[in-house]
Amino acid sequence: MLSKRHRLLMMVILVLAYLARLIPGARTVDDAYITYRYARNILSGAGMVYNPGERVLGTTTPLYTGLLALFGLLGGGPQAPFPQISMTINALADVLSCALLYALGRRLGQPRAGLIAAALWAVAPMSVTFAIGGMETSLFVLLMLATLYWYSQERPVATGGVAALATLTRPDALLFLLPLAGEWLRRGISLRPLRLRLHRLPARAAAAYAIPLLPWALFASVYFGSPLPNSIPAKSLAYSQPQGAALIRLLQHFATPFMGHETFGIPWIRLGILLFPALYILGAVTTVRRQPAAWPLFAFPPFYLLAYALANPLLFRWYLTPPLPLYFLGILLGLERLADDLPLKGLPWLFAAGAFGLLLNAWTLRPDHGPYLPAPKMAYIRLELLYEQVGRDLAQQVQEDEIVAAGDIGALGYFSNAPILDTVGLVSPQVADYFPLPPGALVINYAIPSQMIRDERPDWIVFLEVYARNTLLQDRWFLEHYTLERALETDIYGSRGMLIYRWSGSDGP
């Protein structure tokens, strides 16, 4: 039973979590618009496609796409307000995630740690930004925490079923499922004598996991040719970054879980890289000694760091969110251990007050762009607003049979509704042959290949100048065959504007 004080505090936390996502309004991330366009095309009858007639799985989140389509059907069909729908789904998901953090804390014998972790998650910019940004992150975190909660309750069917939904939300769910599977296999194997005790294996969990996944895998294999999203190999080919860059970024992230660098600057990172992992390890070790089967809960954050560090992809900001709720909880469990050892019973509450203050300092009362409402400082959407402006303009200019090429296809594709040639390759797999580019073609981590444009000859091309500084803008053929229609002022990513070019040449070489 919950104490009266904990019930009251949890009610406050849940309301706070919802309001922290409702008040800022939708500040949609570019990638979210890709999912919106898939959902809109489902409702319009074009099918689960980005470009009508092109069956390419360019989204990694089929479950979230289906949810958006379902709620869109109830809220206006193809013209449904998807940014508002996704923000509502995400706000409710994060409210439930806060409740689950508290429930996990109780299961691990430290309800206060769960309560504080929930309160911090309610306002954490890394959570709020992508909830109001329309990404599937909030749903993924909810399903991850629910999977771990049902695992802690020894409920294999519920664990397997929710785990399958998590996998359909993001394929990197496997990173927290592998430790769970490893623990269950360990329980099912006897080494003296070596034999597999099938009655100890969670066969029901495996069945519950497979049942939702198999229909999707069969459908995707027939419809798209593969259940694997095309966006995964496309990003790995198109984007380039130095070896070890992902590891450095992840270490910085794990050093600043409560955004202390926003208040104290770079020195805080040096302190945090020692303090927070140490607290996390202390909390994990203390808890696992009492409850050995709990180790998979604590394996996920370091396993996540290791997997992404080895893969070394370009880390988009929403990739950094999933390990944080468990990282919060582990840190608080470490503080509970310190509070017992010192003894200093109020230490977790003192820490909570400081961390809460740091997180709030990473918010702004009046952003300098987008909705002028309180929001996390990192909820930066200048680029999306620029693409929205261009997309709305192109919707009035692009003819039905004309193709628009772009490297950032979210807001531009959603608001223009034009056929898109994706120069990264998420929804245009044919461009994979033009990557990787030689280092001299790159100013930042991506550039548009000149030969791709020569071969595909789209009618319009929209790009940040920095994407083409060493490729298209140095290509005589391109400058002879395309006319600059418009240049918008921006310095995003070090660009000298956003450029809109239109085909003006003949079909000759």
pLDDT digits (tens, 9 = 90+) for 44-79: 999 999 999 999 999 999 999 999 999 999 988 999
Q: Which three-class secondary structure state does DSSP give residue 405?
A: strand
Q: Which ranges of 362-442 does DSSP label H, i.e. alpha helix?
A: 382-397, 410-416
Tokens, residue 19: 């309001």
* Number of Cβ atoms within 10 Å of the Cβ of 214: 12
Spatial distance between the Cα atoms of 167 and 175, rounded to a whole number of angstroms? 10
Task: For residue 18, give Cα distances in angstroms to 112, 115, 132, 154, 355.
Answer: 21, 16, 11, 30, 20
- pLDDT value at residue 288: 97
> What is the average per-residue pLDDT within 272-282?
97
Kindly tell me if the per-residue pLDDT of 81 is higher than 90. Answer: yes
Kindly tell me if the per-residue pLDDT of 307 is higher than 70. Answer: yes
- The mean pLDDT value of the chain amounts to 94
Kindly tell me if the per-residue pLDDT of 347 is higher than 50. Answer: yes
Lowest mean pLDDT among 31-35, 159-163, 188-192, 313-317: 188-192
Spatial distance between the Cα atoms of 17 and 375, rounded to a whole number of angstroms? 13
Q: How confident is the model at residue 96 (pLDDT cuts 50, 70, 90)?
A: very high
Structure-model confidence comparison of residues 294 and 196, the more confident one: 294
Spatial distance between the Cα atoms of 498 and 407, rounded to a whole number of angstroms? 12
Spatial distance between the Cα atoms of 463 and 175, rounded to a whole number of angstroms? 35
Going by the DSSP 8-state scheme, the letter that residue 375 receives in this structure is: E
Going by the DSSP 8-state scheme, the letter that residue 509 receives in this structure is: -
- pLDDT value at residue 204: 82
Nearest to 35 by CA among 172, 129, 133: 133
Q: Do the Cβ atoms of 240 and 446 come closer than 8 Å?
A: yes
Q: Do the Cβ atoms of 80 and 70 come closer than 8 Å?
A: no
Beta bridge partners of 196: 189
Model pTM score: 0.96
Going by the DSSP 8-state scheme, the letter that residue 484 receives in this structure is: E
Kindly tell me if the per-residue pLDDT of 199 is higher than 90. Answer: no
Spatial distance between the Cα atoms of 501 and 47, rounded to a whole number of angstroms? 30
Q: Do the Cβ atoms of 164 and 208 come closer than 8 Å?
A: yes
> Where is 488: in which H helix or E strand?
strand 482-488
Q: Which ranges of 23-123 does DSSP label H, i.e. alpha helix?
A: 30-44, 62-74, 82-107, 111-123
Domain residue spans in the chain?
4-376, 382-503
Spatial distance between the Cα atoms of 317 and 27, rounded to a whole number of angstroms? 14
Kindly tell me if the per-residue pLDDT of 196 is higher than 60. Answer: no
- Dihedral (CA of 339, 340, 342, 346) sign: positive
pLDDT digits (tens, 9 = 90+) for 389-403: 999 999 999 998 999
Kindly tell me if the per-residue pLDDT of 486 is higher than 60. Answer: yes
